[in-house]
Amino acid sequence: MATTKKTAQAQDTADAALTEGELAAVARDSGHEEQEQPGRQGTGKPTVIVAEDESVNRMDLVAMLEDNGYQVLGEAANGEEAIELTRKFRPDVVCMDVKMPRMDGIAAAGTICDENIAPVVMLTAYSQPDLVRQATGAGAMAYVTKPYEESKLLPALEVAMGRFAEINDLLDSVERSESKLQEAQDELKKTEEKLKKAEDTLEERKFVDRAKGLLMDKADFSEQGAFRWIQKTSMDQRIPKKRLAMAIIAKYGDEKPADDNE
């Protein structure tokens, strides 16, 4: 299913990053119920990569996630490490701090989302609109401002994973439809080619039959002899039978009857 195309369409399809008010509403509705999902590292727990350059914040964040049923697969202190760990473990979600050394979180999120590996939730001490636009433009599904609180972070993670799954399911469905359409088009092309071949064969037979009749009439061939002559001449001279038949028709078929008065 075209990885870069999926990500580009996912960025267009995803809604703007969640606001804190929306996160609080999701928290109230969900009640933080932990649901096991199959295929998550064999534990049933959702898996996560944590990228945060401040070690104390990273430890607190990891503890919060583990206390709420997440399996932390790796911890990164910069954007490059976050990309490497995400490629290696392919988690269900990535928590990505915006401000990090060597490569910032927005650039790292862009790479992860371009490769369509996992949804990214941005973590920031800022909530400026331009920063939010940069984060969502990079493909982030949501953002959470510091200090990290369960009521904001957990719903953002769940919504990000849900959006990521829904968008990819949709794009997979589109690709399957496109594949079926292409198969139908290929089949139609084959049918058209067969039909064209059948029409050409029928047309050739008509010309050969007419040429055969002219040879029988003008050159005293038997029916079988006329057909054999056309067939052998076509093979020996490497001339298509239709073209040879047309030449015979052109030579003998348009002769005018002699004028009795001459």
pLDDT in tens, 40-73: 556 689 999 999 999 999 999 999 999 999 999 9
CA separation for the pair 176, 170 (Å, rounded): 10
| pLDDT tens digits, 123-160 | 887 766 777 778 778 888 888 887 888 999 999 999 89
pLDDT confidence of 253, banded at 50, 70, 90? confident
Q: Please state, for a pLDDT cut of 90, what percent of the chain lies above it.
A: 28
Mean pLDDT in residue range 78-104: 94
Mean pLDDT of the chain: 79
- The pTM assigned to this predicted structure is 0.55
CA-CA distance, 111 to 139, in Å (whole number)? 9
What's the residue count for the chain?
A: 262
Q: Quick count: other Cβ atoms within 10 Å of Cβ 80?
A: 17
pLDDT at 220: 82
At 249 the pLDDT is 86
Fold exhibited by the domain 3-177? Rossmann fold (3.40.50)
Mean local confidence (pLDDT), 88-106: 92
For the structural domain made of 189-252, what CATH number should be given? 1.10.10.10
| Residue 254 pLDDT exceeds 70 | no
Segments making up each domain of the chain, as ranges: 3-177, 189-252
